[in-house]
Amino acid sequence: MTMTISYSLNTIDSAVEQFWEIAKNFKVVTFSGDMGAGKTTFISHLCDYLQVPDAVSSPTFALVNEYRFEYEGKEHTILHTDWYRLRNIEEAINAGMEECIDQTKNGPTFCWVEWPEKAPELIPPTHLAVYISTTDITERSMSLTTNE
Ligand SMILES: Nc1ncnc2c1ncn2[C@@H]1O[C@H](COP(=O)(O)OP(=O)(O)O)[C@@H](O)[C@H]1O
Ligand SMILES: [Mg+2]
């Protein structure tokens, strides 16, 4: 499946709503796109939509931010990771990124990965791949792809 969503910061919240209807079905979601494309911005709006109580920030330095939220009456966890600073699979494993992926298998935990290209071997075959590209200063085009 492939679909495209275009949005600006004025329409990002309806894009988020549309996105979640698909993304809720995938434990692992990868976010690709150039620096400044809007990966963190989109995730931040998505977390607002999901009423995550903590402030969402870029995990570039911490590598992983953990958020909790209630969904359909149940506690869920999001592991928001950013692999930008990692160089390869070995560094990713040492930094605990494989554990983040593994945690999605054991309960209501999602793992969202910025810069998955740094260690693509760790991404399970079933995932939602998101590519964000800049079409104008204020406009973004997001493509969603799954292998299903
Ligand atoms: N439609 C849009 N969606 C997301 N960001 C946008 C949009 N239009 C402008 N921007 C700006 O682009 C930048 C995106 O930065 P950021 O989300 O940190 O990117 P990334 O995480 O992909 O490196 C922000 O400064 C944001 O204000
Ligand atoms: Mg980012």
Q: Is the CB of 10 under 6 A from ligand 1?
A: no
Higher pLDDT, 56 or 46: 46
Range of the domain at 135: 2-145
Domains in the chain, number: 1
Mean pLDDT, the chain, whole residue set:
96
Q: Is the CB of 62 under 6 A from ligand 1?
A: no
- Tally the C-alpha atoms within 13 A of residue 130's C-alpha that lie toward its C-beta: 27
pTM for this prediction? 0.96
Residue 38 CA: which ligand is closest?
1
Q: How confident is the model at residue 24 (pLDDT cuts 50, 70, 90)?
A: very high
Beta carbon of 41 within 6 Å of any ligand 1 atom: yes
For atom 4 of ligand 1, which residue has the closest CA? 38
Question: Any idea what the CATH number is for the domain that residue 119 is in?
Answer: 3.40.50.300
Report how far residue 95's alpha carbon sits from residue 71's, in angstroms, rounded to the nearest whole number. 29
Place of tokens 């930094």: 95
Give pLDDT, residue 109. 98
